[in-house]
């Protein structure tokens, strides 16, 4: 528990341990802003207490969604990131879980936003919209290494102070890119995209995806048979809320580092270092801004989905998903 942070909020940390307290079912934790493993590369050790932390609130009960406006201030929204984490143990409940927790999040955030200054509200709204309008896949060089654009831009700024030669940088390309981004921001969003704007970055993280290969026979068989359809439905759902979609597993260490890196990208605007991945079904990664209604509908699963909708050939336990 991040007790110093709770004290900053004026919350007594002991309230989380008192039976009957409003906070008793509300879990608090934290993430380090940097990978602890990276610290050794700098030739020194750093105490846990001196590392920067990001506070994490964990809600596992719908009723505790009412606590969101109590622990978040309007000013916090600029630095807030939400994850909804269903798992694959009961795949027929996956869509219901997504809708339930997205509604909890929406109700909590929409109680906070009326207290925002009008300018800040517009900035938060446009920030999420621009994730779609200006999204670009990370570029790799001939050796498969990431071309880090933000570092390039930083070096260019340094060169203006005399650090490097100005001719090493193509300033016209940077100006053209900025102009293109500004034009993109003026465009309307495509149909079906970001129908509901929650003002903060949101990810839907499907956990325990190792069950696709190593689960019990019934679950493994259900996932193998319906995985394309499940991902089709999830992608449409995430597109409507502007949420990214990640399939991850702690057991198999699948997409764990990716998820951490993506979190830093969304909160701190660090370089996006992982391209999208829609070909590996067990390690699916659809960052916000990548997907579109046309891309989803053009997937190989489209005809498969329509057949199941009209012929009712899918397993009865998936009826709720079919209705999406």
**Burial (CB count <10 Å: 0-12, 13-18, 19+), residue 105:** buried
Higher pLDDT, residue 150 or 236: 236
As a whole number, mean pLDDT of residues 5-19 equals 56
Domain residue extents for the chain: 25-33+51-136+188-323
User: Is pLDDT at 184 greater than 50 in this prediction?
Assistant: yes
C-alpha–C-alpha distance, residues 6 and 20, integer Å: 18
Q: Among 30-44, 173-187, 309-323, where is mean pLDDT lowest?
A: 309-323
Query: Is pLDDT larger for residue 158 or for residue 7?
Result: 7
CATH number of 25-33+51-136+188-323: 3.40.50
Q: What is the pLDDT of residue 311?
A: 33
110-127 residue pLDDT tens: 999 999 999 999 999 999
pLDDT of residue 151: 43
* Spatial distance between the Cα atoms of 39 and 155, rounded to a whole number of angstroms: 24
Query: With contact defined as beta carbons under 8 Å apart, do 133 and 189 qualify?
Result: yes
**How far is Cα 183 from Cα 133, in angstroms, rounded to an integer?**
9
C-beta separation of 244 from 272 below 8 A: no
pLDDT score of 217: 85
Q: What is the pLDDT of residue 139?
A: 82
Residues 6+ positions from 8 with CB-CB distance below 8 Å: none
Tens of pLDDT, residue by residue over 25-76, are 567 788 888 654 454 455 445 555 567 788 888 888 888 888 889 888 999 9
Summarised one tens digit per residue, pLDDT across range 231-282 is 988 999 999 999 999 999 999 999 999 999 999 889 888 888 899 999 998 9
The pLDDT tens digits of the residues spanning 161-178 come to 444 443 444 555 555 556
Band the pLDDT of 2: cuts 50, 70, 90: very low
pLDDT band at 317 (very low <50, low <70, confident <90, very high): very low
Binned at pLDDT 50, 70 and 90, residue 221 comes out as confident
Q: Which of 248, 235, 237 is nearest to 278 (CA)?
A: 235
Per-position DSSP letters for 270-310, written without gaps between them: -------B-S-GGG-EE-TTT--HHHHHTSTHHHHHHHHHH
pLDDT per residue as tens digits for the range 196-219: 999 999 999 999 999 988 888 888
What's residue 107's pLDDT? Answer: 96
| Residue 305 C-alpha from the chain's centroid | 26
Q: Residue 9 has what pLDDT?
A: 55
């Amino acid at each position: 528990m991040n007790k110093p942070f709770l004290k900053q909020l004026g919350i007594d940390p002991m309230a989380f341990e008192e039976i009957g307290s409003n906070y008793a079912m509300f879990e608090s934790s934290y993430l380090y802003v940097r990978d602890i493993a990276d610290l050794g590369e700098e030739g020194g050790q750093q105490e846990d207490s001196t590392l920067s932390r990001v506070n994490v609130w964990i809600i596992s009960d719908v009723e505790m969604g009412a606590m969101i406006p109590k622990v978040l201030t309007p000013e916090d929204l600029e630095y807030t990131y939400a994850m909804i984490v269903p798992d694959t143990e009961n795949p027929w409940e996956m869509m219901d879980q997504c809708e339930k927790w997205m509604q909890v999040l929406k109700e909590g955030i929409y109680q906070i936003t009326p207290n925002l200054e009008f300018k800040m509200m517009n900035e938060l709204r446009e920030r999420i919209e621009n994730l779609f309008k200006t999204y670009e896949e990370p570029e790799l060089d001939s050796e498969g290494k990431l071309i880090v654009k933000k570092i390039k831009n930083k070096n260019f700024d340094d060169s203006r102070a005399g650090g490097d030669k100005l001719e090493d940088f193509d300033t016209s390309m940077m100006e053209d890119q900025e102009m293109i981004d500004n034009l993109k921001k003026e465009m309307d969003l495509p149909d079906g995209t970001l129908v509901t704007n929650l003002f903060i970055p949101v990810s839907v993280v499907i956990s325990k995806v190792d069950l696709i290969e190593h689960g019990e026979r019934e679950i493994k068989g259900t996932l193998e048979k319906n995985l394309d359809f499940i991902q089709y439905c999830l992608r449409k759902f995430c597109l409507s809320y502007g949420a990214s979609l990640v399939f991850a597993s702690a057991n198999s260490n699948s997409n764990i580092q990716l998820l951490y890196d993506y979190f830093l990208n969304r909160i701190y605007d660090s370089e996006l270092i992982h391209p999208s991945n829609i070909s590996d079904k067990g390690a699916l990664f659809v960052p916000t801004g990548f997907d579109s209604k046309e891309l989803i509908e053009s997937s190989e699963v489209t005809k498969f989905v329509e057949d199941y909708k009209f012929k009712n050939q899918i397993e009865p336990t998936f009826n709720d998903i079919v209705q999406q």
